[in-house]
Every structure is written in structure tokens, then in C-alpha cells.
């Protein structure tokens, strides 16, 4: 029994819980009481990103870096590749083959045996992205598109690609990418803010509030679609009944989003979205036509709690280009706005995960340098509406299922009967050393299928961190078996005094090694290469990233001090970039290593660092 039920009548209690649970702290999360059995359906998937139950009773999966749509038998785990799309380009950690939507009439005998997929691709005819200055960057000509494919049931294959819409914004961060069929047979698609105003992109402005002009729409220039959800006709055209925003009707359905990776349609056509917050306030929203969701002026609710809109690109004396990004120790000269300074109308979230007071320690020493794992955010990667309908999980009449990356867990939010308000606190299920990417539900509602990332960084069961996934690149099945006894509230934050752990063992230290040798030019080139390929995961300071382990500071020294430079070179070359390890030139890897060494205190000299020979084996990291 919680504190409200001891004080007020039950009906009033229910309404207050609904109001409070929308904006709770991490310590409000309850341990789940439902009992499930676990089964590994299949493994070896190359970045499963979307998983959907198909009308053929198969699981349909997109593989982000594998460039494949794969059908999986949920009983046996047998995999069948429906198509490999060679046009997909996946240079980083958030691009590639992303969302997928099955036509509602697929295999219904109407001829509409279509599957729609969203992915990033190279489009040199469209021209270079003006936000990407480096001509050698793999993101220079990277854009997004939605393609229609026809399914041949006899062969089990997809073919005949037809472009629905092309030239959508894409970048090295915050690409969104979820695709769903919605009311009136329209496609709904999410695009993030491209990770502007942070890490390697910290001098670029966030344009989640910028709306497209008539001229842009006429020219099919979709640059203003960043930080938006889109509503699209099946032929790619603009629905006539789309909202008119700033006098213009476009594909834009809603705006003011950060990185909306979750999207689902619930009862009565309610459209749910889930998006990543900065350090606090991952959001679950209900999307309504033409609405503004506040980002970047507001994260979560307009409460002035633990968030200010720091405008790095507006910095002067010195300008942003001469500054170093640090989202913890922010210079007072950087312009910033409080949430309460924002005066335009916007829609509050259905719920946040999670809100903390101003003054919360986002760099607690107990986190051992992997600060983002300790943040209140959970890494919302998807959202799915669930209704038990009498055959599924008891008591889950109307709930949302939210898969998370950082926590390796499924969070369950109870809803009111109309699906428009929260009706209690989050419960947490299936805690693991995984990164949960997406969910699908069996027709009887008794089995929840979860796709897992092949790698990355997640919270460990001992409250540390791990980069070795428990079930990498897998589809897991959790089948409901009954009820259990209520358990105590759970604290899904870092436990003071614990140390992060990396599942990969540290190399053996070397004795009598020499100091690393590299040139200043290598370190300078390495910084450029690092910013282009590594900063989105490991952070612009090498220790402030939210997707990869730190490459500087306490964590790095604990793992790499007195180890050989060869061991570090081999680790970097075999794991980076995450979608295509080893794809960079050997000289680029040595440049990146030189930059990492310099940031960690090693001094440049006259002798260059070489990838060949025995020099790397004799050099010891300081």
C-alpha cells in the first residue's frame, strides 16, 4: 500500500496516483509481480531493430547493420531472409535499416501484399548535407527514405522496391526511425533532432521547433523535418488533412521532439511516442495533430528541474568553434534558458522516465567514469500498446510496454481505460545485461518478444556497467505463467560505492615498456577522425558519451594503464565503427589512437605511430 491509500478514499487515490506517476523519480519504480518464463528464440542477428508479429505467424525483423528483413519462426527460431537491401548505408550506431510497417491487408487476398521499410542511404545527386563539413565523412551524403516492397508468399521473399519518399534528414545521431501504419491508412514516421547541440555536433543548432516553408516543400527540401513526427500518404504525398503549421501543410504531424525511437497506435487510434531525454526525462507522449512537444526548451514538464536549454551555438567571445564541449561543467558565458522562460504552447508528456530535482549529481564518483549509466534516463527505444483482452497477462487491460537500452529491462505503465492517462507507477520486468530494442506480442497476448542489440553499454545486474551483452543480437520470448507475490520498490539507479565493469577482460600489463610515440599532426588528424566516427558514442571529451565506455579519465586508466598500445589499437580496430569494424584505413586508426593517448596525458614527439612493426607492442599506455 502506498502513501496515498493510507490517507484518502480509494477513488480519489486512483486519480492522484495517475497524476503523480506521470512525473516520478527513479525510486518510484516497482518490481513486477507477473511471472514469465524466458526462451531464446534465435541469435546471430546483425542489429535487430524492428520486430513485428506478421499475419503468417512469423516474426518479421529488420537488421540495422545486416541490411536484411528476416522472418523468424517463433517456435523453432529458424530464420529466413526475405530481402537484403544493398542500398542501405549504416556507417554509425543509429543509422541503417530501421523501421518497418506491414500493410494491414498483407496476405488478406486484396493484392496489398506490401511491406514498408525505412533506412539511410547515400544520395550524392541530392547534394551534400550542409551540416557536415568534412568531405570525407560517411555522413556527407547520408539521407533517409521509405521504400515499399512486395511480398511473394510462395517464395517467402520481398522484391520490387518502390520509393515512397526520399531525401529525409539523417545523420550520425538521433535519427529516430520508427515507422507505423496509423488511422486512415497513413504512414507515421519519426525523425530525431540529429544530435545537435551536443558532443561532436554541439555547435549546430537544434531545429526541432523550425517548421518547413512553402518554398522548401515545393522543392522537396525536407531539412526542417528534424525533430518531427511525419504523417504520409502511401504514395509519399502529403495528406490533405495534415495540420497547417505556420501557414504550411506538409508531412509534419507534430514537432518539438528530441529522439523519438518509439511509436505505436493504441485503442481508439491513440498514437503513442517514446523519446530519449538529455540526462533526465525520457518521455512517453500522446501525439495529436499539429502539437508542439517542447524540445529543446523543455525536457519533460516545464518544472525547471535539472534541465536548462544551453545554447552552445550562440556562444561568443570565444565562439563555439573555439570551445570544448562539456555538459557537466558548463561555462557561465554560454547562453541558456530555463524551462519557465518558454512561453509558447506545448503538450506535456503522458509520463517521464525519470524526473529528479535540480542539484542531482550527474557525475557521481561511484559511477567510475561511466556517468550516463547513473543518469535517471533509461534509454527508451520503443513503446507498444498492450491490452490483455481476457486471454493475456492478468491485470494488463490497458498498459504501455517500454523497452529500454540502458537498463536492459521492460517497463510497464498502467493506463486509464481510454488510454490517455497514466493510472499508476511503472513496473520493471526482465532485468538483464542486454540492450532491449523493440517488442512484439503474440496473438494470444501471453508472449512478449524482445529484440536485443548486438553490443553497446548497459547497466549490469550488480549495479555496475557492462559492454558484454547477455544475449547479443537475439530475439527473446517471455511467456506469461501466472501471478507472484508483490515485491518491494526497486531503485534502478547506481548503488553508491559500486564500480563499473567491462565484460571484456583487460589485456595483461607489460613490464619495461616505452612511452607512446606519435606526432602532433597525428593527434590533430585523430581528433578530426574521432569527431566524425567515434564522438557520437564515446562523447566529445572521450568520457561524456551516452553509448560507449569512456576513452579517457578514471575508467580508461583503470582498464588500460600499463597495457600495450598494440592491445588498444587492436581493440579499437576490431570494434569501431560499431557497424563496420575495421573499415577505416590503418593510418586513421593510428591517428585516433594518437589522439586518445594525448587526451590521456601522453606527449607528442617527432616519431610517428605506425600500425606495423613491433613498436606498438613495446609502447605502454601511461
Query: Catalytic residues, which ones?
Result: 174
| Cβ atoms within 10 Å, residue 113 | 19
Kind of pairing between the strands at 447-452 and 475-483 = antiparallel
CA angle 344/350/354 to nearest 5° reads 95
Q: Which three cell numbers stand for residue 345?
A: 504552447
Contact 493, 374 (CB under 8 A): yes
E-only strand ranges, 85-137: 97-102, 114-122
Radius of gyration of the chain (CA): 24
> Is residue 10 within a helix (H) or strand (E), and if so which, with residue range?
helix 10-21
Secondary structure (3-state) at 289: coil
Contact 102, 53 (CB under 8 A): no
Q: Is 471 left (phi over 0), alpha (psi -120 to 50) or beta?
A: beta
C-alpha–C-alpha distance, residues 411 and 605, integer Å: 52
Q: How far is CA 48 from the centre of its chain?
A: 13
Contact 49, 437 (CB under 8 A): yes
C-alpha–C-alpha distance, residues 171 and 78, integer Å: 34
Which residue's C-alpha cell is 600500425?
611
C-alpha–C-alpha distance, residues 85 and 90, integer Å: 12
In terms of Cα–Cα distance, which of 427, 491, 424, 415 is closest to 21? 424
Secondary structure (3-state) at 461: coil
CA end-to-end span of the chain:
55
Question: Measuring CA to CA, how many Å separate 37 from each of 85, 353, 447, 475, 480?
Answer: 35, 27, 9, 14, 7
Which residue's C-alpha cell is 517467402?
156
Contact 117, 85 (CB under 8 A): yes
In terms of Cα–Cα distance, which of 556, 580, 583, 584 is closest to 568? 556
> Is residue 244 within a helix (H) or strand (E), and if so which, with residue range?
strand 244-245
Q: What is the 3-state secondary structure (H, E, C) of 472-532?
A: CCCEEEEEEEEECCCCCECCCCCCCCCCCCCCCCCCCCCCCCECCCCEHHHHHHHHHHHHH
Which residue's C-alpha cell is 512478449?
448
Q: Which three cell numbers stand for residue 402?
A: 517500454
Indicate if the alpha-carbon torsion angle 361, 363, 367, 370 is positive or negative. Answer: positive
Q: How far is CA 580 from the centre of its chain?
A: 19
In terms of Cα–Cα distance, which of 611, 451, 594 is closest to 518? 594
Strand partners, 449: 440, 477
Amino acid at each position: 500500500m502506498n502513501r496515498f491509500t493510507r490517507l484518502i478514499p480509494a477513488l480519489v487515490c486512483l486519480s492522484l496516483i495517475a497524476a503523480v506517476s506521470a512525473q516520478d523519480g527513479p525510486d518510484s519504480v516497482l518490481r513486477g509481480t507477473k511471472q514469465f518464463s524466458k526462451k531464446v528464440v534465435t541469435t546471430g542477428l546483425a542489429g535487430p531493430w524492428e520486430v513485428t508479429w506478421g499475419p503468417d505467424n512469423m516474426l518479421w525483423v529488420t537488421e540495422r547493420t545486416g541490411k536484411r528483413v528476416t522472418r523468424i519462426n517463433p517456435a523453432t527460431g529458424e530464420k529466413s531472409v526475405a530481402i537484403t537491401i544493398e542500398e542501405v548505408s549504416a556507417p554509425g550506431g543509429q543509422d541503417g535499416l530501421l523501421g518497418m510497417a506491414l500493410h494491414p491487408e498483407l496476405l488478406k487476398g486484396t493484392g496489398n501484399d506490401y511491406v514498408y521499410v525505412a533506412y539511410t542511404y547515400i544520395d550524392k545527386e541530392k547534394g551534400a548535407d550542409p551540416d557536415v563539413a568534412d568531405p570525407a565523412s560517411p555522413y556527407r551524403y547520408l539521407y533517409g527514405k521509405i521504400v515499399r516492397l512486395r511480398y511473394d508468399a510462395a517464395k517467402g521473399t520481398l522484391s520490387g522496391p518502390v520509393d515512397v519518399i526520399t531525401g529525409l534528414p539523417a545523420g550520425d545521431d538521433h535519427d529516430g526511425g520508427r515507422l507505423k501504419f496509423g488511422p486512415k491508412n497513413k504512414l507515421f514516421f519519426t525523425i530525431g533532432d540529429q544530435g545537435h547541440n551536443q558532443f561532436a555536433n554541439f555547435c549546430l543548432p537544434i531545429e526541432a521547433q523550425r517548421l518547413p516553408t512553402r518554398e522548401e516543400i515545393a522543392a522537396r527540401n525536407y531539412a526542417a523535418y528534424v525533430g518531427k513526427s511525419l504523417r504520409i500518404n502511401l504514395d509519399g504525398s502529403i495528406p490533405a488533412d495534415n495540420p497547417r503549421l505556420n501557414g504550411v501543410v506538409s508531412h509534419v504531424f507534430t514537432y518539438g521532439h528530441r529522439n523519438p525511437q518509439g511509436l505505436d497506435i493504441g485503442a481508439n487510434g491513440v498514437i503513442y511516442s517514446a523519446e530519449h531525454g538529455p540526462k533526465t526525462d525520457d518521455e512517453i507522449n500522446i501525439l495529436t495533430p499539429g502539437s508542439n512537444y517542447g524540445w529543446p526548451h523543455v525536457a519533460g514538464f516545464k518544472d525547471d528541474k535539472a534541465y536548462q536549454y544551453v545554447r552552445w551555438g550562440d556562444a561568443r567571445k570565444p565562439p563555439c568553434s573555439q570551445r570544448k564541449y562539456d555538459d557537466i561543467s558548463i561555462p557561465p558565458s554560454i547562453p541558456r534558458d530555463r524551462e519557465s522562460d518558454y512561453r509558447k504552447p506545448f503538450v506535456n508528456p503522458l509520463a517521464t522516465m525519470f524526473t529528479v530535482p535540480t542539484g542531482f549529481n550527474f557525475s557521481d564518483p561511484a559511477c567510475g567514469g561511466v556517468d550516463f549509466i547513473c543518469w535517471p534516463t533509461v534509454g527508451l527505444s520503443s513503446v507498444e500498446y498492450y491490452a490483455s483482452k481476457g486471454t493475456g497477462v492478468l491485470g494488463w487491460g490497458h498498459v504501455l510496454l517500454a523497452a529500454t537500452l540502458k537498463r536492459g529491462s521492460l517497463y510497464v505503465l498502467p493506463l486509464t481505460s481510454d488510454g490517455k492517462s497514466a493510472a499508476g507507477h511503472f513496473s520493471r520486468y526482465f532485468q538483464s545485461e542486454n540492450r532491449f530494442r523493440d517488442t512484439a506480442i503474440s496473438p494470444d497476448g501471453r508472449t512478449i518478444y524482445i529484440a536485443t542489440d548486438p553490443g553497446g553499454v548497459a547497466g549490469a545486474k550488480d549495479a555496475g556497467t557492462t559492454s558484454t551483452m547477455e544475449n547479443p543480437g537475439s530475439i527473446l520470448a517471455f511467456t506469461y505463467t501466472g501471478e507472484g507475490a508483490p515485491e518491494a520498490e526497486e531503485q534502478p539507479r547506481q548503488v553508491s560505492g559500486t564500480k563499473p565493469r567491462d565484460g571484456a577482460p583487460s589485456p595483461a600489463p607489460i613490464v619495461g615498456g616505452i612511452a607512446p610515440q606519435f606526432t602532433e599532426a597525428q593527434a590533430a588528424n585523430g581528433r578530426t577522425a574521432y569527431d566524425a566516427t567515434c564522438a557520437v558514442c564515446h562523447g566529445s571529451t572521450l568520457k561524456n558519451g551516452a553509448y560507449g565506455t569512456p576513452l579517457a579519465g578514471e575508467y580508461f586508466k583503470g582498464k588500460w594503464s600499463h597495457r600495450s598500445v598494440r592491445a588498444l589499437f587492436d581493440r579499437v580496430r576490431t570494434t569501431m565503427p560499431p557497424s563496420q569494424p575495421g573499415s577505416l584505413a590503418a593510418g586513421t586508426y593510428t591517428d585516433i589512437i594518437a589522439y586518445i593517448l594525448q587526451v590521456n596525458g601522453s606527449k607528442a614527439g617527432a616519431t610517428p605511430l605506425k600500425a606495423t612493426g613491433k613498436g606498438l607492442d613495446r609502447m605502454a599506455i601511461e
